[in-house]
Amino acid sequence: MNHVTRRAALGIAAATPFMTLGEAAHADPIVIKFSHVVSPDAPKGKAALLFKQLAEKYTDGKVSVEVYPNSSLYKDKEELEALQLGSVQLLAPSISKFGPLGVKEFDVFDLPFLMSDDAHARQMMASPMMADFNKKLEDKGVEPLAYWDNGPQLYTANVPLIMPDDFRGLKMRIQGSKVLDAVARQLGALPQIIAFGELYQALQTGVADGEDNVASNIWTQKLYDVQKNLTVSNHGRLTYSLITNVKFWNGLPADVRPGLDRAVKETTAFFNDTAAKDNEDALNQIKASGKVQVHVLTDTEKQAWIAKLMPVHKEMEGRFGKDFIEKIYKASGFVPPQS
Ligand code: LMR
């Protein structure tokens, strides 16, 4: 019991001297630690706070949610280990970080331009194929409760990124996905896995020259302060999975689960309604800051990027199998360009 819940329990016991021990234990809230790496003002940060409010309300205070934003409890890789060990109960990491759990299949969603618009991304995440992905996580002790679509990825750097050759020799920060590693290499860049919590400093000190992210992260982490250029490339997607520990979730008392399930459902709807608007607002604010030069890829430029990056799809047949990639195309509605 942490000192807050212990104090609360003692306070209740002192106020009601005739309470039995069983009742006192029941009054002790179940603590859910929800750790994440973004700002409280980013869509995931807002969703975490909403979840806290809803979960506590719908369980009549039987659950107390503690939210730890901005990597204040754990960074990218540590948080997944902590969840498996039961030190934290809720996370919402990017699915591009699931490789180290031993579920390499999630990296497939990073194939360039696969889910570059809302329709393809939502179609993929709603597809029956996701049940197979969920099963893989469950086998690792991780229960996916929902998928949250945070929108298209944009590139930032300290040089303009207009054509694929512009990446040559740049140190690009990537998330842990092997597909993102292959994308950077195909562009002639040097990929570096850096935890999100260390990204600002890495860009500020030149450890990395650039990175890709959604506009709301670029804005709320102030990455625009340490980058000169931003390209609206929409080459990938930032998808989160709200995950918990299988044993913890299945062990919750029967009178608590329905309230939490309802909180998950409503928070997911909030997230999916909020992210696109937040990204739009963030991009406008970044432009208005005057600190970065914003470039939107023209159709011709985009075709050059697609032509350069489609070989990564081919290369990844070696990792995932051609059949699997074709099933993903079908599920997401992606039609590969004729070469
Ligand atoms: C990143 O590492 O760039 C993102 O996954 C961070 C996040 O959680 O939005």
Integer Cα distance of 116 and 317 in angstroms: 20
Which pLDDT value is given to residue 12? 34
Nearest-CA residue for atom 5 of ligand 1 = 94
Give the global pTM: 0.91
Q: What share of the chain is helix, strand, coil (3-state, %, to 5)?
A: 55, 15, 30
Q: Which of 56, 58, 7, 60 is nearest to 31 (CA)?
A: 56
120-151 residue pLDDT tens: 999 999 999 999 999 999 999 999 999 999 99
Instruction: Please state, for a pLDDT cut of 70, what percent of the chain lies above it.
Output: 92
Q: Would you place residue 9 in the very low, low, confident or very high pLDDT band (cuts 50, 70, 90)?
A: very low
Provide mean pLDDT across the span 322-333. Answer: 97
202-228 residue pLDDT tens: 999 999 999 999 999 999 999 999 999
User: Residue 195 CA: which ligand 1 atom is closest?
Assistant: 2
Helix (H) / strand (E) containing 337: none
Nearest-CA residue for atom 2 of ligand 1 = 196
Which residues in the chain belong to E strands, given as ranges? 30-35, 63-68, 90-91, 142-152, 154-157, 171-174, 190-193, 210-213, 229-232, 237-245, 293-296
Tokens at residue 104, please? 């390499």
pLDDT at position 167 over 80: yes
Q: How many helices (H) and strands (E) does the chain have?
A: 14, 11
Helix (H) / strand (E) containing 330: helix 322-332
pLDDT at position 168 over 80: yes
Nearest-CA residue for atom 1 of ligand 1 = 196
Residue 178: other Cβ atoms inside 10 A = 18
8-state DSSP, 196: G
Instruction: Give Cα separations from 268 to 47, 152, 265 (angstroms).
Output: 8, 18, 5
Which pLDDT value is given to residue 3? 37
Which pLDDT value is given to residue 116? 74
pLDDT at position 26 over 60: no
Expressed in angstroms and rounded, the spacing between residue 275 Cα and the centre of ligand 1 is: 13
pLDDT at position 173 over 80: yes
Give the least confident one: 22-36, 45-59, 131-145, 245-259. Answer: 22-36
Q: Are 146 and 268 in contact (CB under 8 A)?
A: yes
Which pLDDT value is given to residue 338? 77
Integer Cα distance of 42 and 214 in angstroms: 10
**DSSP letters for 94-147:** BGGG-GGGT-GGGGGGGSTTTT-SHHHHHHHHTSTTHHHHHHHHHTTTEEEEEE
Integer Cα distance of 292 and 297 in angstroms: 15
Q: Which residues line ligand 1 (CB under 6 A)?
A: 37-38, 94, 175, 196, 213, 217, 238
Average pLDDT of the chain, as a whole number: 92
Which pLDDT value is given to residue 101? 94
Which pLDDT value is given to residue 180? 98
Q: Which of 24, 48, 26, 28 is nearest to 36 (CA)?
A: 48
Which pLDDT value is given to residue 339? 59
Provide mean pLDDT across the span 181-195. Answer: 98
Check residues 23 and 301 and name the one with the higher pLDDT: 301
13-22 residue pLDDT tens: 333 333 444 4
Q: Would you place residue 181 in the very low, low, confident or very high pLDDT band (cuts 50, 70, 90)?
A: very high
Which pLDDT value is given to residue 175? 98
Expressed in angstroms and rounded, the spacing between residue 94 Cα and the centre of ligand 1 is: 6
Expressed in angstroms and rounded, the spacing between residue 30 Cα and the centre of ligand 1 is: 28
Provide mean pLDDT across the span 151-169. Answer: 98
Which pLDDT value is given to residue 93? 98
Provide mean pLDDT across the span 317-332. Answer: 97
Expressed in angstroms and rounded, the spacing between residue 19 Cα and the centre of ligand 1 is: 47
